[in-house]
Amino acid sequence: MLKRINWKAIFKVFAWLTCLAGVVVLMSFIGVKKHTVKCAKIEILIPGADNFIEIEEIDAILKQNQGDLIGRNLEGINLHDIEKSIAANPYIGFVKVYADMNGTVFIEVKQRQPILRILNAGGQDYYVDSDGLKMPVSPNFTANVLVASGNILEGFNGRVDTLMTGIAKDLYQTAAFVKKDTLWDAQIEQLYVNEKNDIEMVPRVGNQRIILGNAKDINIKMENLLAFYKQAMPKVGWNAYRSINLKYVNQIVCEKRDSLAIKKIEKSVVPDSVVQQQQAINAEVKAAIQDEIDKATQTQAAGDTKNTKAETAPVKTDTKKVDKAKTTNTVDAAKKTEVKKEKDKEAAKPKTVQKTATKEKDNKKTNR
């Protein structure tokens, strides 16, 4: 017997062959059109607020490597070479170049996003981007990021490169953590590496050194710092401590100032503009910390109310019994007082009679 023909398989093969033939025909039409279509316009897109590189610089790179593109056939323009030449710029993290059949060449550029600026021990100055790569500073734009200085031995050769030393990697992890949190991004102003290779954080609010140590368990360390802010700072003030040591995960070690040193800090003379700016920043940071305190107290209050409800349920029945006992006692007392009053009245009556009788006898005597 002949096997049944599998029409489904035949239909699938025919459909694939038709699609492949259509793609080949379409590509041939595109190839033919490329011979006739000329570059009429170049669109350069640079999203983001940072301006490490300008449109004019990309245009200059195009002219240096490819010459003038306007008026040239699209077939004669090597889009891949354009991508490579633009991606060689140290401020560009990603670039995509493509063209349409209307003669427009599109260039989409994504800039590197710095999160840390390092001033190393040798005087070199460079950025570290969000991917942990070193990049040079720009004469066109200065990024508003954390600045790290001190005993940093990580060098920079002027090209995009990875971090080599352990302290530089810890600085990058610390900056990445601070950048993600709105509270710490507003509070931490600068990083410093001391002679013991410990990372110190310089806060905006409060005049103390926050010793982080390294970036290991940084989330736990910063949670401990936030808990310390909630409990201690509202009571003793923001300038009471000289240093706050977070190196040990399970505890916080603090060094306190004397009262004279605190008064000197509070009476330090600074320009009015600096005072106003500092007050604005302090208000924002303190408001953020107060919000965290309010959230914690609300959750604690909710738990306390649940516990009090559970505890007061049996007490209500007892209070009813006590109230009944009190009312019975008060009724009995009232009855007793009424009985006493009646007895007093009865006792008072014969006394008045006796007095009147004696008065009558006295009157009789006087009449005689």
pLDDT at residue 6 is higher than 90: no
Which of the four pLDDT bands, split at 50, 70 and 90, describes residue 51?
confident
Identify the CA nearest to 46 among candidates 63, 27, 59: 59
Q: 291-320, pLDDT tens digit by residue?
A: 766 776 676 666 666 555 544 444 444 444
What 8-state DSSP symbol labels residue 5?
P
Q: 109-133, pLDDT tens digit by residue?
A: 999 999 999 999 999 999 999 999 9
Q: 259-287, pLDDT tens digit by residue?
A: 555 555 555 544 555 556 556 656 666 67
Q: Which two tokens stand for residue 135?
A: 């990049």
Residue 332, sorted as left (phi over 0), alpha (psi -120 to 50) or beta, turns out to be alpha
User: What letters, b where the CB count within 10 A reaches 16 and e where it falls short, cover 216-228?
Assistant: eebeebbebbbeb
pLDDT at residue 173 is higher than 60: yes
Q: Which two tokens stand for residue 67?
A: 């010459």
Q: What angle do CA 340, 346, 348 make, to 5 degrees?
A: 100
pLDDT mean across residues, the chain: 76
Please give the model's pTM, rounded to 2 decimal places. Answer: 0.64
Enclosing H/E stretch for 110? strand 104-111
Residue 327 has a pLDDT of: 44
pLDDT at residue 156 is higher than 70: yes
**C-alpha dist (Å) from residue 319 to 190, 323, 326:** 61, 6, 10
Distance separating alpha carbons of residues 50 and 52, to the nearest angstrom:
6
CB 85 within 8 A of CB 65: yes
pLDDT at residue 214 is higher than 80: yes
Q: Which two tokens stand for residue 114?
A: 């710095």
Identify the CA nearest to 151 among candidates 122, 194, 212: 194
Q: Which two tokens stand for residue 186?
A: 């507003």
Q: What angle do CA 360, 364, 367 make, to 5 degrees?
A: 135
Residue 215 has a pLDDT of: 93
CB 69 within 8 A of CB 39: yes
